[in-house]
Structure formats: C-alpha cells, structure tokens
Structure 1
Amino acid sequence: MDTAEIIVTLTGLALVAFVVWYFFFSARQTASAVSSSSGVQEVDITVKGGYSPDVIEVERGKPVQLSFYRDEENSCSEEVLFPDFSIRRDLPAFKTTLVELLPDKPGRFEFTCGMGMLRGSLVVK
C-alpha cells in the first residue's frame, strides 16, 4: 500500500465512525410534554434535517398533541409515521401539522420520516 491508499482508507474509516456515532451514540434532545388547561399534553417539534426535540416524554392515558413544524423542503421529511399508533401524516413545508394520539400503555415508541432516515421516540411513562 502506498501513502495515498493509506490516507484514503483512513479517511473512509473515519467517516464510517462518524456516521455510526451520529446515528447511534450522539446526544438526543429530550422534551417533556406540557399539559394544557384541558389536560392535553402538548409538544412543539421542528422538522429540519431531523426532529427537534427527537425524544418526547408523555404520561400514559392522557391525550397527546404533537405540533410538527416542517422548516424545510427536503423530500425525506414530507411525512411522519407512528407505526405503533397506525398514524401517517403528510407534513407540508413551512406549515404546522397536528398529530393527536392517546398512549394507553407505557414504553418507547419510535416515529420516523417516510424513508426511515429521520427518527424520534415517544416515551410513555
């Protein structure tokens, strides 16, 4: 192996390590739902290259209203899926879309974009 091949190999390994760290080990932004006067748990989520916050904590048995504001036109973020709740919603660019659900059991429930690249979690306590 000559010097150029070693540099290319090391650069490739570094990029792979970064991708693994970013998707599996980087810090996640967590938010707890705020209950309104009507008892609905509300959370605002910004969609721009990901979900912010991407971990949402709610209480079991109380209705949840998630407000997704899509701040981009990237085709990957055109919809959000909550497979455990059988929910699929289109997210128009630069608009807010409400997703309402009633978590009836505790656990961690994933939500993703339509392509499965953007990920978040709903943690029901």
Structure 2
Amino acid sequence: MMTPDRWVVLITGLLLVAFIIWFFWLKRSKGVRASDMSGGYQEAMILVKGGYTPDTIIVRRDKPVRLNFRREETASCSDKVVFEHFNKSAELPTGELVAVELMPREAGEFSFACPMGMLRGRLIVE
C-alpha cells in the first residue's frame, strides 16, 4: 500500500515528465515572418542560447532565404545547425554571425536542429 507521501512524489514526478515532454517536443510557437531585404533575400536573425530564438521562421517559397545565426553560448551541442531537408549545415562559432542561405522550392514545414536534436526549430514555407 502506498502512503500519501509516496503518492505526492509519484504524481509530482509524472507531472515533471509531462512538462519535459511538452517543453522539448510538443511546444509550438506561432513563428516570425522573415523580412524582405535588398538583394531579394528573405532574412531572419536567430539567437542560439539554450535553444533557437525565434524557433519558427515563416518564409515564402521560390525566394531565397538567409538565416543569420548568432550563438551566444559555449555548449557543444549548439556549435552546429543542420537543415536535413535542404542538405545543409553550418558551424556556429560562439559570438560570430553565420549566414545560412536556402532556396525553399516547396511549401511545407521543415525542421532544423543541432546535431544531437536537442535544440530544434522550424522553417515554415508558404
């Protein structure tokens, strides 16, 4: 038979696990629309610090995209970003601005992440 204190510990643990699952895998942000810049690029600035901010970028298809990453941490997981669908990746040295250029040809939702998949973002192509 479980005592009341064990029930409290069990319920608290289950709630913590549910929160972690939601925070890392299920949380969705509305997204930020990339800005139209001279030169025809759609551009967005992404801060890398404990995650990608913003983590959802909205762009139009058939128009070049330039995502400017600035890494403000030294965690080894965040030292690279991978765009699997576009077959692109980039090293992200701490404190430097790194531009990743893509040409989205089809509408859809495409993920980008660190090599371990702990930091994740989305590129929504309309």
Name the TM tier (shorter chain): over 0.9
Between 1:22-31 and 1:63-72, the stretch displaced more is 22-31
1:11-22 → structure 2 map (5 Å cutoff): 11-22=12-23
Q: Which residue of 2 aligns with 1:30?
A: 31
Counterpart AA for 2:18: A
Q: 1:69-105, CA deviations, whole angstroms, 9 ceiling, x for partnerless residues?
A: 0011111111100000001111111111110111111
Q: Which residue of 2 aligns with 1:107?
A: 108
Structure 2 residue ranges without an equivalent (≥5): none
Alignment check: 8 A CA contact 1:47 1:77 kept? yes
Q: 1:14-67, CA deviations, whole angstroms, 9 ceiling, x for partnerless residues?
A: 101211221344351511111112111110000111111111011111111100
Q: Which runs of 4+ in 1 moved over 4 A?
A: none
Structure 1 residue ranges without an equivalent (≥5): none
TM score, norm. by length of structure 2: 0.92
Give SS of 1:85's match.
coil
Kindly tell me the number of residue pairs found equivalent between the two proteins.
Answer: 125
TM score, norm. by length of structure 1: 0.93
Between 1:70-79 and 1:22-31, the stretch displaced more is 22-31
Q: Which residue of 2 aligns with 1:70?
A: 71
Identity %: 46
Backbone CA RMSD of aligned residues: 1.3
Counterpart AA for 2:41: V
